[in-house]
Amino acid sequence: MSERVQIEIEGHVADVMLNRAGKLNALDLKMFAALAEAADSISNNTSVRAVVLHGAGGNFCAGIDLSVLGESDLDFGKTLDTPVDPSPANFFQRAAYAWRELPIPVICALEGVVFGGGLQVALGADIRYAGPDAKFSIMESKWGLIPDMAISTTLRGLVAPDYVKELAWTARVLDSTEAQALGLITAVADDPLATSRELAAECAARSPDSIRGIKALVNDAWQVSDADSLALEARLQSGIIGGENQLEAVSANLQKREPDFKD
């Protein structure tokens, strides 16, 4: 695993930290790759039931490292046009989209700057808790670019299109209060990392089949027709109900004991 991203697993929770504090955790090519690799590593570890994603040094991520734009050896056209199999996302998009692809909860703790690509990485998470002093910006237009790290999928349904256009056109900086009001973040927390870890632990203590099913339902059903949504609900539930973990959840509740779920 790259030094750019640090992973620690305790119990059933993976703690994932962007580890480039001296550069405000900015996204260079190694960081783009390391984020996707971290998500893939967790995906292959069936014992992990929840993820906490955060940045080192009091900041989440300052966005793209401008050195990337000067990479003479990188074929941007080919890289942007080529999905990383089996994902529909390209190399740059996967740094954010890989967290949406994970079947387990990803809770993001946001402090300091959350700019550009950093915000897009955070949007790949399921839940975002931000500190009172965090700052946010869809900043790509400042560099003559569009936001393109899967924001068309992760921000859809969270923020109204007119607000997205205004934020992206102006690249203005928001505080946590406005970010929450617009829907960019879930809540403001005095200690977003502690709050994220508490929620991750709560998710990890429940049936992993239920938790995974809820993420799959919400991620997919909100984007399709009523008929497809109803069919998805039924398909997901039929794969869970009567299963070992579902029966264990019932038994543990009735017997007033801690459940013992299977990975």
What pLDDT score does 67 carry?
A: 86
pLDDT of 17 > 80? The answer is yes
CA distance 210 to 189: 27
Question: Which residues belong to CATH 3.90.226.10 in the chain?
Answer: 5-203
Closest to 238 (Cα-Cα) out of 261, 260, 217, 262: 217
Give the pLDDT band (50/70/90) at residue 244: very high
Which single residue is written with the structure tokens 């700052």? 135
Predicted local distance difference test score (pLDDT) of residue 226: 86
256 Cβ neighbours under 8 A, 6+ residues apart: none
- Residue 239 CA to residue 10 CA, distance in Å, equals 28
Residue 35, H or E segment: helix 29-43
CB 25 within 8 A of CB 60: yes
Q: How confident is the model at residue 63 (pLDDT cuts 50, 70, 90)?
A: very high
Which phi-psi region, left, alpha or beta, contains residue 11 (left: φ > 0; alpha: ψ -120 to 50)?
left
Looking at the domain covering 5-203, what would its CATH class be? alpha beta
Alpha-carbon span 191 to 209, nearest angstrom: 29
Give percent of the chain with pLDDT exceeding 90.
85
- CATH code for the structural domain at 207-255: 1.10.12.10
Report the pLDDT averaged over residues 71-99.
90
The pLDDT value given to residue 1: 59
pLDDT attached to residue 161: 95
Residue 75 has pLDDT above 90, yes or no: no
Can you give the pLDDT at residue 104?
98
The reply to whether omega before 86 is within 30° of 0 (cis) is: yes
> What is the band of 70 on the pLDDT scale with cuts at 50, 70, 90?
confident
Of 39-43, 75-79, 106-110, 238-242, where does mean pLDDT reach its minimum? 75-79
Cβ–Cβ < 8 Å for 144, 126: no
Instruction: Give the residue range(s) of CATH 1.10.12.10 domains in the chain.
Output: 207-255
What is the tens place of the pLDDT at every residue in 169-218?
Answer: 999 999 999 999 999 999 999 999 999 999 999 999 999 999 999 999 99
pLDDT of residue 74: 79
Helices assigned H by DSSP within 83-184: 91-101, 117-123, 151-154, 161-170, 176-182
**Residue 72: per-residue pLDDT:** 67
Mean pLDDT of the residues in the chain: 94
Single pTM value for the model: 0.92
